[in-house]
């Protein structure tokens, strides 16, 4: 994962000192791109241990169209709790827009799979989580926004596009806002996994995952952690094995994913900016 270390070094060297919504302060750049050839291994950071279970359950939760944290917490995943209301609701976030866009019965995932299978040269294979009509009012709390039918948070990974060539499926994500220490390692692994799953159910080999950023930032309270992480040697990438029996994207279960040869350095703790 040289790509990740290069991103961290680039932002440390070129980042603008920038205030932010959470009041933490960041070093930030605007516009950056990474590319991962999925045939070279599963792009999971090796210079700190990542909690793959959270990544898999979060992705299955998006794919269910679920926007309540109950399913996540039942499975020991707490990464969305800070933003949910007292009932665990987050409002119309990712899962809702992916599977039931604007509550108009538009299932973007089903539609993109149809196109991937029937018209793979299409240049219209996009899924958008960015829906201006449900963006939160920033003068209100997370739960007030949810009560008003708005999303607790605007999506960070806002939209993605698929591309097929040479029998390989690639995916490019546009992420408008990226927390480089905590979020980005999760986001890379999540979309790499999603690309592999989509490739399997549509009958392609996995190609590249391309990660394009808007505001890519390092929070000031993550600087020491990243310094430690950069001092560690990068190890070979693990491999991800999917249960080959699964032919429908909505049939994947936690047990269908097997990660092999992941030998990371120890976990590094960091506080999430809320």
Nearest-approach distance from CB 117 to ligand THF, in angstroms: 29
CA-wise closest residue to 150 among 159, 160, 140, 158: 140
Determine if residue 54 is labeled as part of a ligand binding site: no
For position 272 contacting ligand THF by CB under 6 A, the verdict is yes
For position 156 contacting ligand THF by CB under 6 A, the verdict is yes
Which residue of 183, 206, 207, 238 would you call a contact of ligand THF, by CB under 6 A?
183
Find the part of the chain contacting ligand THF (CB under 6 A) among 9-17, 87-95, 116-124, 183-191: 183-191
For position 186 contacting ligand THF by CB under 6 A, the verdict is yes
- Counting residues that bind ligand THF (by CB under 6 A) gives 13
Q: Which residue's Cβ has the minimum distance to ligand THF?
A: 183
For position 179 contacting ligand THF by CB under 6 A, the verdict is yes
For position 79 contacting ligand THF by CB under 6 A, the verdict is yes
CA-CA distances (angstroms) from residue 210 to 16, 32, 121, 163, 195?
24, 11, 18, 11, 10
Q: Is 202 a catalytic residue?
A: no
Find the part of the chain contacting ligand THF (CB under 6 A) among 9-17, 106-114, 134-142, 176-184: 176-184
Catalytic residue among 156, 228, 230, 268: 156
Nearest-approach distance from CB 79 to ligand THF, in angstroms: 4
Determine if residue 189 is labeled as part of a ligand binding site: no
Write out the binding residues for ligand THF, residues 18-57 only, by CB under 6 A.
51, 54
Determine if residue 21 is labeled as part of a ligand binding site: yes
With vertex at residue 125, the alpha carbon angle to CA 121 and CA 131, rounded to the nearest 5 degrees, is 165
Catalytic residue set: 156
Give the annotated binding-site residues.
Answer: 21, 51, 123-124, 176-179, 187, 217-219, 273
Binding site for ligand THF (CB under 6 A): 51, 54, 78-79, 153, 156, 179, 182-183, 186-187, 272-273
């Amino acid at each position: 994962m040289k790509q990740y270390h290069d991103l961290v070094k680039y932002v440390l060297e070129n980042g603008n000192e920038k205030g932010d919504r959470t009041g933490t302060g960041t070093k930030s750049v605007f516009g950056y791109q990474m590319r991962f050839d999925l045939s070279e291994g599963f792009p999971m950071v090796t210079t700190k241990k990542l909690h793959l279970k959270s990544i898999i359950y979060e992705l299955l939760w998006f794919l269910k169209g679920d926007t309540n944290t109950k399913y996540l917490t039942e499975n020991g995943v707490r990464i969305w709790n800070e933003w949910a209301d007292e009932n665990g609701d987050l409002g119309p976030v990712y899962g809702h827009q992916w599977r039931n866009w604007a509550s108009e019965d538009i299932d973007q995932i089903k539609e993109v799979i149809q196109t991937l299978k029937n018209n793979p040269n299409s240049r219209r294979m996009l899924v958008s989580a960015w829906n201006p009509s449900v963006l939160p009012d920033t003068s209100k709390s997370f739960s007030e926004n949810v009560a008003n039918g708005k999303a607790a948070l605007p999506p960070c990974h806002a939209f993605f596009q698929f591309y097929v060539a040479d029998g390989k499926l690639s995916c490019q994500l546009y992420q408008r806002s990226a927390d480089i220490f905590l979020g980005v390692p999760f986001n890379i692994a999540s979309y790499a996994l999603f690309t592999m799953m989509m490739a399997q159910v549509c009958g392609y080999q996995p190609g590249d995952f391309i990660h394009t950023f808007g505001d890519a930032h390092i929070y000031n309270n993550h600087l020491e952690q990243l310094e430690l992480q950069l001092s560690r040697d990068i190890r070979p990438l693990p491999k991800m094995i999917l249960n080959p029996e699964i032919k429908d994207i909505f049939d994947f279960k936690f047990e269908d994913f097997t990660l092999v040869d992941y030998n990371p350095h120890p976990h590094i703790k960091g506080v999430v900016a809320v």
